[in-house]
Structure 1
């Protein structure tokens, strides 16, 4: 719809139409038709409705014309049925009577709906330009935002990794200790616990704590803003390995100061790399001997892979290289009889014989 049509339409909306009281319908019709045509044309152009068929006189047909007794007022009433007319009873109390000979102003109610906006030429004229510029603008804004975020993140990482930013000021130690102290742990990790909150080397701190012989495992955690928290698990020794070392429940050998060795531990010996095998055999054989009230105090696996045991009563048991479990079971079967027959006690039993054993008694000194 052109702008001139819009101006004409607005002018028509507010222009009252006056008729002489004595005018006939056929005299009024041309005047009404002149008013009605731009109104309906404006409505159709506004709503995107095509023009109606010609009435044969070069003008669009008017709603209501063509019916017997129809007048041009019917067409206007069809366009604005809510307005009162002289010959019509008001349907609502709000409708007021109109003075004879005066037609009310024809008013078009314009609703700004999305459907009308889609069909409105005035509203759609600028859409192509917006459609072309909006994606470009969005891409530019998205690129700028991404660049700003990347720059901010880079600055933050570089700043926080600076050792001078948020330096570590405290090291807290947690755990149950018998052979190690929190002070010793703090001193051990002091050199590694330098730098900033994010730049500190956690692995270096863990290695420094594990350098203490009695430390089995260490967990290192940062606590905002300037603290390191160490969760320490101490070693649990189950036996001595040789004369200078200890072995834990996992078969790992560690070497603390001999003065810190727990008393009463059994002694295990064997070639390098056999720690786990010797510990497993010790546990199995010690459990088998428990019903006889015998406890292994020393177990040795020599270079020839021969087994030799020492009991808490001083008795030595030789099992040899092969069939160590079977020979141990034969010893268990004969031990009660040997104990009854040898009051002084047994010093050594050699079970390497296939059909017997060799027995050595204890020497009794006066």
Structure 2
């Protein structure tokens, strides 16, 4: 018997067996790693934490809108898509998304800050942007601004400047109307309508504040409530429109 030849064959087959064992081990290890990686990728969120001062948007609304599409897991969630869903809520101005291991989704919400009602059905925020949200949900009384859609910035600028001036005498604008020809009418909280026209509006408001005390001084007490409008569309002076009184008053 050729001993060296037998030894070589034995070593060969032993090597084959070892190789097969190694391959089997690698295959099993690869499968285990694949399953582990897959499980990690599919790690679901177990908690959603919602932060940010909110007056109109509930936590349930945020969670519900997040679940309207694919939420994903810790590694697979699309943060930009989730943020866009939250920002699609009517009262949300902006949102940010953050993940915390192992399964927490943090959502920070910044709500719209409404400044005025715009053309009855929409709202203006403090940045001068128009947004659509249920006006009936408002928790405070806001001025109503009206004007051409393309002139929203001008309307807001005029309103703020006029209100700053009128506030010096305690007047509050409740309605602001800008026509297509840029003629302006103000409705004050005391029930008086100021017709300013298109020109010299600041000067006309100042004239109103200067002359109203003079007008009232010549009238009986309580006559302020009878003034319906004051027309200031004159180079000097003004015209006063009085509400009709019923018989016996």
TM norm. shorter chain > 0.5:
yes
2:148/2:179 contact within 8 Å kept:
yes
Runs of 4 or more above 6 Å deviation? none
User: Which residue in 1 is equivalent to 2:234?
Assistant: 353
TM-score, L = length of structure 2? 0.76
Query: Matches of 1:282 and 1:235 in 2, distance apart?
Result: 20
In the TM superposition, residue 164 of structure 1 has moved relative to its aligned partner by 4.5
Q: Counterpart in 1 of 2:83?
A: 206
Equivalent positions of 1:93-104 (< 5 A) are: none
3-state SS, counterpart of residue 180 of structure 1: coil
The one of 164, 171, 178 aligned to 2:55: 178
Inter-partner Cα distance in structure 1 for 2:145 and 2:180:
14
- Give the RMSD, CA atoms, in angstroms: 2.3
Quote the Cα distance in structure 1 between the aligned partners of 2:135 and 2:208: 35
Tell me the equivalent position of 2:122. 245
Aligned pairs for 1:210-289 (under 5 A) are: 210-289=87-166
The change in CA–CA distance for 1:364 and 1:316 in structure 2 (over 3 A counts) is same
Compared CA separation, residues 163 and 341, structure 1 to 2 (3 A): farther
Deviation (angstroms), 1:293: 2.3
Shift of residue 362 of structure 1?
A: 2.6
Aligned residue for 1:44?
none
Alignment of 1:317 with 2:189, yes or no, is no
**RCO (CA 8 Å, sep 6+): is it higher in 1 or 2?**
2
Aligned partner of residue 150 in structure 2, secondary structure: coil
Q: Deviations over 1:55-92 (max 9, x none)?
A: xxxxxxxxxxxxxxxxxxxxxxxxxxxxxxxxxxxxxx
Q: Distance in 1 between matches of 2:238 and 2:115?
A: 32
2:74 corresponds to which of 193, 197, 206: 197
Q: Partners of 2:236 and 2:111 in 1: how far apart? A: 49
Tell me whether 351-360 or 296-305 shows the greater mean CA deviation. 351-360
Cα separation, 2, equivalents of 1:282 and 1:257:
23
More strand by share: 2
SS at match of 2:136: helix
TM-score (norm 1): 0.53
Q: What secondary structure is seen at the aligned counterpart in 2 of 1:274?
A: helix
> What SS class does the counterpart of residue 235 from structure 2 fall into?
coil
Query: What's the CA shift string for 1:22-49, capped at 9, x where partnerless?
Result: xxxxxxxxxxxxxxxxxxxxxxxxxxxx
Determine which structure has more spread, i.e. the larger CA radius of gyration.
1
Q: Unaligned 5+ residue runs, structure 2?
A: 1-32
Paired residues, number: 209
Cα deviation for residue 268 of structure 1 reads: 0.8
Partners of 2:71 and 2:110 in 1: how far apart?
Answer: 23
Which moved further from structure 2: 229-238 or 192-201? 192-201
Q: 1:305 maps to which residue?
A: 182
Q: CA deviation at 1:192?
A: 4.1
Unaligned 5+ segments in structure 1 are 1-154
Separation (CA, whole Å) in 2 of partners of 1:180 and 1:228: 18
